[in-house]
A and B are shown apart, each in its own frame.
Chain A
Amino acid sequence: MTVSQTVQTSTTPLEGTSLTSHSTASPPSSIGGDAGARGAADRTVTRRRRRRHSREYLLFLVLVSPNLLLIGTFEYWPVIYNAYLSLTRWNMLSGVPVWVGLDNYQSLLTSSSFHTVMYNTLLFTGTVVIGSVVIGLALAVLFNQKVRGRGFVRTVAFAPHIVSGAAVATLWLFIFNPDYGLSRFVLNQVGLSSPRWVSDSDWALASLIIVFLWKGIGFVAIVYLAGLQSLPEDVYEAAKLDGARAWTTFRRITLPLLSPVTFFVLVITIIGTFQAYDMIAVMTGGGPGNATTTLSWYIYEQGFQASDAGRAAASAMILFVILLIVTGLQTKYAQRKVHYQ
């Protein structure tokens, strides 16, 4: 009731006269005299309705078509066309894509470099996601304390989030430089020598994770902070009265109450890391070897270095399906477990 009223009020200005004429001119079909008259009335009503219907559908189409066209052209069509390309072989230069069925998928799933790519992707995403949640929450708890200058600290922590990935990556390349970088200086102070960060296959992925966390954590912290500040006071008072310790309160009250926020953070971070591209491009180019080649970088490599549209498209479909599954699982989990206020 409330909903439809809202709908009506909100649409009234758009539909103008047709609405007014309808509400005054058409009697409800249940009112009528003998069968014939009723039939005639019904027919008139139906005809009117039909005309009105088509007019309204037309208006509907006119109103939604710009959006539908945009979404269709730039969202759905690329996905559909990509799915088609993934079943072809094409170098993007010569004539037309050649149909090869599932060949691209088969060669991907059996190739050892693709296994490395998937391993890198999972390691990268997993570490960044867990790191973001843990450190982000810890920071948020810290920022939530009533200490002087916390506004400033919050701003500082959030700042990296709004800097572009390429700039952040360039900056960190300087920091990581083993010959004149800040990291070398800091590590030397504590008696350690700097690893060759991005050019050492054992450290390159770790470098990326550090930078990605550094850039993303401020955002996560702010989201958690907003969550913390909207928590109800009364449950904490009750817990206090019952003599719960700080850790218990945090684990049994804060964490469960924050689960919608955690859910949001998980979705955002997982999608963000799966799509990580700019920092990899600037910092490592997927190397050394393929130590930092994640799925999104691999798609680029196949598409624009190897000019292999089919294989790139197949990898993109795999990314698409993974994200679809992740989102599906998260939605399902969220419905069961997440406590919304």
Chain B
Amino acid sequence: MSNRLPRHSSLRRPSRRSFLGMTAAGLSVPILGSCAGGVSSSDDGEGGGNELGQVDISPPSKYRGRDVNVVMWSAMGGVNGEALDALVEKFNESQDSIYAEVQFQGNYHESSPKLTAALRAGAVPDIMMLADTFWGRFLLNDVLEPLNGYLTDDFNRDNYVEALFDEGLVGDELYWLSYGRSTPLFYYNKDAFAEIGLPDRGPETWTELREWGAELSKLTVQGQPLKVHAFTGDDDWQFMSAAWQFGGSLSDGLDVTINTGGAVDAAAWQQRFIFEDQMGYMAESSAVDFGTGVVATTITSTGALRGIYENAEFEVGTAFLPAEVTTGVPTGGMGFSLLRDVPQERKDAAFEVLKFLGQPDNAAEWSLASGYLPIVKAAVDEPELAEQIAEDPNRSTAVEQLPMAQGSDAIRSYLPNGTDIIISGLQEIFSSGSADVQSVFDRVAGELEEGVERIRDDYDRYFG
């Protein structure tokens, strides 16, 4: 018996070859399965008109059983997120056929890839919050719903600040409805300015800021010289305005211009301001640094005003952006888009939510809570907002500066990693005094142009 055991068990055990065979068979099942899935889903995508599912939504009991559920993916956390939640809750209470739910998906950089994944998976939100530089990539891939058909006689372009509304237009068709819109503002520490006898206003030009800087940096904070200006290293929005102010641009359409003229001048000026003049630096968070008082001035969004107020133990001043060769003020912020292949019933319901948010009283509430610009014209007549704008000069700065503002250069809006490439170049310049601006921007331009090749055809379909 004992000498039969080995043979015995070798009989029972599958041989190495058959084991491998079975392994291969086992493996090929999921592979074939996935192949099949891949093929069919892409076929659907090509055909169009297929109906996208919805991401998970679980209405609380009091809203259960309504005709339509609508999901909004939001990129707003903190105070702004709470304000948006409150408004959507107000929407749910205002009627009884639609339930809307806000789902926070992280900042724009995080939520946008999630939408890509959701589209592949075939289950999507009904309303997508997209930053001004993020909706373009979805437009070019034909996934956004044209919105003109949803506008009505009493809810249309006329209700909105036209320049902001028009940024969502492609030709005459609306694809992106402005909501949390902003411009950059020049923030300055009024106490520091007063201490050395500077006028109570922002500098008119960058050159003037540099003159003032010599005085400002004589002040000390926490034992170190007060820094004059915090440059932003994780966004290229502020730099774009500087490029404009120095007479240049990042791109003309999709033709890259960052390595020419004013853009190069602006970067070289800022690099000198940081390393030769020792007045500026690249901040990890310019709004936080400014709020805590380690730097006298910075440029950041109107939307940061509330947060800065909460931090600052000094009097906060705001001003128009400094000019140089010319003025330059970009708009920014976010709006909402709907997705083309969602069933009509859900798209209709989703637009009801957007309409509700665009009512003057709700738009005013949003601006009050967040600090974003009033996008709906009638909102500024709402008593509370009107009062605040009248009382707080920092509020009116943004509103007064708005007529000068214009939308981003196309390279930021349509090339998915356009801003990332530019930011990477800016960081190189802002973090090293020996980086040669021209050659850094030549490299940046090269990478941008390489990316443009991939999107040019789609861009021309919409804008050509």
Interface of A with B (CB < 8 Å)?
Answer: 1, 4-5, 7-8, 11, 15, 19, 22-23, 28, 49, 52, 56-57, 60-61, 64-65, 68-69, 72-73, 76-77, 80-81, 89, 91-96, 112-113, 173, 177, 179-180, 196, 198-202, 204, 285-291, 301, 304-308
Contacts and interface: CB of A to CB of B under 8 A. Distances in A.
B282 A72 contact: no
Interface string B1-22: 0001111111111100010001
8 contacts: A61-B22, A179-B292, A180-B292, A286-B424, A287-B233, A304-B113, A307-B116, A307-B137
Contact of A57 (B9, B10, B22, B137): B22
Given A68-B27, A69-B30, A93-B137, A199 B233 contact: yes
Contacts of A94: 45, 141-142, 458
Given A11-B12, A22-B12, A94-B45, 13 more contacts: A7-B9, A7-B13, A57-B22, A68-B26, A91-B454, A92-B116, A179-B294, A180-B294, A200-B431, A200-B432, A289-B432, A289-B435, A305-B417
B352 interface: no
Contact of B416 (A64, A96, A287, A305): A305
B54 interface: no
Nearest to B143: A93
Most A-side CB within 10 Å, residue of B34, B222, B283: B34
A81 B431 contact: no
A285 B234 contact: yes
B6 A1 contact: yes
**Across chains A and B, which 6 residue pairs bring their CB atoms closest together, nearest first?**
A289-B428, A288-B427, A306-B417, A288-B431, A68-B26, A93-B141
B122 to A, nearest CB: 13
B30 A57 contact: no
Main secondary structure of the interface of A (DSSP, over half): helix
A36 B310 CA distance: 100
Contact of A93 (B26, B138, B284, B430): B138
B154 interface: no
B29 A72 contact: yes
B423 interface: yes
Given A68-B26, A81-B34, A289 B425 contact: yes
Most A-side CB within 10 Å, residue of B282, B416, B431: B431
Interface in B79-109: 109
B428 A288 contact: yes
A287 B424 contact: yes
Interface in B107-160: 109, 113, 116, 119-120, 137-138, 141-143
Contacts of A56: 12, 14
Interface residues of B, number: 62
Nearest to A289: B428
B109 A201 contact: no
B289 interface: yes
B26 A72 contact: yes
A65 B23 CA distance: 9
Contacts of B284: 173, 177, 198-199
Contact of A289 (B9, B18, B292, B431): B431
A52 B9 CA distance: 13
B31 A77 contact: yes
Nearest to A93: B141
Contacts of A180: 222, 292, 294
A129 B28 CA distance: 38
Nearest to A67: B26
A80 B35 CA distance: 11
Nearest to A68: B26
A73 B14 contact: no
A201 B141 contact: no
Contacts of A77: 27, 30-31, 34
B9 A4 contact: yes
Nearest to B41: A96
A64 B116 contact: no
Contacts of A80: 31
Given A7-B13, A77-B34, A288-B431, A28 B4 contact: yes
B83 to A, nearest CB: 26
Given A180-B222, A201-B428, A8 B420 contact: no
A91 B416 CA distance: 10
Nearest to B419: A305
Contacts of A57: 14, 18, 22
